[in-house]
A and B are shown apart, each in its own frame.
Chain A
């Protein structure tokens, strides 16, 4: 059987995810409300003064982004599985790698959309401008890193008994190096210290992304065979 070219298949899956989202708004809605609630809770819980805010804002940003992305990943893959679409994708004459990259890009876009909502809201609520080119770069790289790991692991955990409960447990430790590097890089960029002090973290983040993308791409076929 002739298989659909890789990029065409990837784009078809991404388009399907975006279209479903445009019509249902099931993911971005839940993720967005959750993210806004978390930053409000953080600002009550931490009772920050002006100086402390600049110190912790990138930590708050990353914790919020990763938790709402876990929420979205769970939903995204659970929907595929419950409605039988995952099986349909696997039956289709496309490579397993294309399925993975398609789902990854979809989840990446959704999490970036959440980040795009968070940036202005947080800048306003915490009176710290987050619109720094390096913070944006760190977001692009960091979100890519943990959606890469998350898409693979969510595909696994939606097939288990514990389902939603298991994803944070298996994903957080593996994604932690990415979060660590991302928090350090964005804190450094916001603190206004010399670029040489923190640019290394951006490089580490890029390297981690490359490692995880390659590993997860090759491991994905093993978690969907049946």
Chain B
């Protein structure tokens, strides 16, 4: 690459504009406030669960963090499809950011679930179908990052990562749907129609959202914050970081050429 080409490459990269930065900082503050209100509703305002006690309050983080991870991984699919069609780098950056943010949120989901399971199921881990598929989902996205790091050519890397990001979403859908396919799971169906099969209800245990005052509103509020604000703000920060990294490498090329 000539010096002029490197220079124009550095200039053509998106530079964080002032308005965007302000909006992002504002949204970040809103997110922190939203998460804090969600924690207040869950930890203090909602009544204590009669059967499970205080440890049930982990649900106010456990369920919302999966919602956030779902949104982030869905962003990876959108980014992957859009990259394959348009070949514009920004879509691949979105896909990468989605995977990393989704992995972080899925890790929160897994750890809180495990901590909750210790007193309630008397084990940190069991081979419940949803636990298994959730662990597979996390490994799939870890494989996504390994695949990326194994390819030197940037165009090939983006292309393969897009394809794998689309395929990998099947594990997210399975984690979401498996409690409807496998009746032997202990995970309750919280969203959508519940099959009122007596044997199934018995194996799942009753999970009554309305049994304790304040639970429904706390879960709903926290899920809204964690699926609308948290993943998007984190993805945005990650995209900015990636753009800055691109700029740095382009500028380094320019300096080395001179």
In the complex, what residues of A have CB within 8 A of residue B140's CB?
173-174
Interface string of A21-46 (1 = CB under 8 A from B): 00000000000000000000000000
Partner of A223, one of B143, B160, B168, B174: B160
Q: Is B31 an interface residue (CB 8 A)?
A: no
Q: Is B151 an interface residue (CB 8 A)?
A: yes
Q: Which residues of chain A from 147 to 197 have any CB-CB distance to chain B below 8 Å in the complex?
A: 149, 152-153, 156-157, 159-162, 166, 169-170, 173-174, 176-177
Separation of A162 and B140 alpha carbons in the complex (Å): 17
Interface pair B167/A169, CB less than 8 Å apart: no
Chain A residue, CB-CB nearest to B174: A177
Interface string of B154-190 (1 = CB under 8 A from A): 0010011011101110110010000001000000000
Chain A nearest CB: distance from B120 CB in Å?
25
Q: Is B25 an interface residue (CB 8 A)?
A: no
Q: Is A225 an interface residue (CB 8 A)?
A: yes
In the complex, what residues of B have CB within 8 A of residue A215's CB?
166-167
When A156-B160, A159-B156, A204-B181 are in contact, do A174 and B151 touch as well, CB less than 8 Å? no
Q: Is B139 an interface residue (CB 8 A)?
A: yes
Chain A nearest CB: distance from B88 CB in Å?
15
When A174-B167, A223-B159 are in contact, do A160 and B147 touch as well, CB less than 8 Å? yes
Interface pair B159/A162, CB less than 8 Å apart: no
Separation of A211 and B166 alpha carbons in the complex (Å): 13
Separation of A70 and B163 alpha carbons in the complex (Å): 19
Q: Is A219 an interface residue (CB 8 A)?
A: yes
Interface string of A199-226 (1 = CB under 8 A from B): 0000010000001100110010011010
Interface pair A222/B163, CB less than 8 Å apart: yes
Chain A nearest CB: distance from B110 CB in Å?
15
Partner of B163, one of A169, A204, A219: A219
Partner of B150, one of A153, A162, A222: A162
10 closest A-B pairs by beta carbon, nearest first, are A173-B140, A160-B150, A162-B150, A170-B143, A169-B143, A219-B163, A156-B160, A173-B136, A161-B150, A160-B151
**Contacts A157-B150, A174-B171, A212-B170 known; 20 new A-B pairs at CB < 8 A:** A152-B163, A152-B167, A156-B147, A156-B164, A159-B151, A160-B160, A162-B146, A162-B150, A166-B147, A170-B144, A170-B164, A173-B143, A174-B168, A174-B170, A176-B171, A177-B171, A204-B181, A215-B167, A222-B84, A222-B163
Q: What are 27 A-B contacts defined by CB distance under 8 Å?
A: A149-B167, A153-B164, A153-B167, A156-B163, A157-B147, A159-B156, A160-B150, A161-B151, A166-B146, A169-B143, A170-B143, A170-B144, A173-B139, A173-B140, A173-B143, A174-B170, A174-B171, A176-B133, A176-B136, A177-B133, A177-B174, A204-B181, A222-B84, A222-B159, A223-B160, A223-B163, A225-B159
